[in-house]
Amino acid sequence: MAQPQSDGNGKVPALIIIDMQNDFVSGSLPVPDGASIINTINSLSALPAFRLKIATRDFHPPDHVSFAETHGKPTFSTLTIFHPDDTEKENGKEQVLWPVHCVVHTTGVEFVPGLETSQLDAVIDKGTHPGVESYSAFRDIWGRGVTRLPNLLKENHVTDVYFVGLAGDYCVRYSAIDSLDFGFRTWVIKDATKSIKDEAAVFEELEKLGIRCITSEEVKKLFA
């Protein structure tokens, strides 16, 4: 793993590549134009200014709670779900029921061809528990199960976290909001992200929360 160093301004930036997987690009749950950001992500990943480069994967069991098939319901319908430990069913959350996607030991879970992964310092898998939904790279939707990402960033003295990948309105959005909540300066690189729906609305929401949404060219100028 690379040894993080300050950029001279006391900042240690990390690049987080969210869910650039076959099923989200050309498989069962494709994000429109998802393949179009691969080269931009690769150009960012090649920047030496990023002291830590991490990718995430949805990594689901075949009976995951987010799958419509698990519940015998139509895809893209909604259902109230509860944490497996919530035996009293006191804290329900509305769940979009997705097509089966990113199942372990399938080609859909693999990183999309063309994505440069040789420079990655770590891969974070999420959504591994069959009964727990996890959009964020940091924690599940209830905030009970935390991944190793927060500790990995803190152990490497990261101050600024830059997000790219899929989908902007789900896993990128949730991850960016959690990043801010964990105390990191947070950035979303707009032309290295694609959303299922209205990207502009997502960027506007994130900006209002204090997350900076910029272009890859602006990032390169920051690091020049």
Specify if 92 maps to a domain.
no
Number of structural domains found in the chain: 1
**CATH number of the domain that residue 144 is part of:** 3.40.50.850
Establish whether 19 is a catalytic residue.
yes
Q: What's the pLDDT tens digit per position in 13-22?
A: 999 999 999 9
Q: Is residue 94 part of a domain?
A: no
Catalytic residue among 126, 140, 178, 213: 126
DSSP code string of the chain: -------SSS--EEEEEE--BHHHHTSSSPPTTGGGGHHHHHHHHT-TT-SEEEEEEE-B-TT-TTBHHHHT--TT-EEEE--TT-TT--S-EEEE-BPS-SBTTSGGGSBPTT---TT-SEEEEE--STT----SSSB-TTS-SB-SHHHHHHHTT--EEEEEEE-IIIIIHHHHHHHHHTT-EEEEEEEEEE-SS-HHHHHHHHHHHT-EEE-HHHHHHHT-
The answer on pLDDT for 58 being more than 90 is: yes
Active site residue 11: no
Domain enclosing residue 113, as ranges: 13-61+100-222
Per annotation, catalytic residue among 23, 58, 171, 190: 171
pLDDT in tens, 27-51: 999 999 999 999 999 999 999 999 9
Does residue 154 have an active-site annotation?
Answer: no
| Domain assignment present for 194 | yes
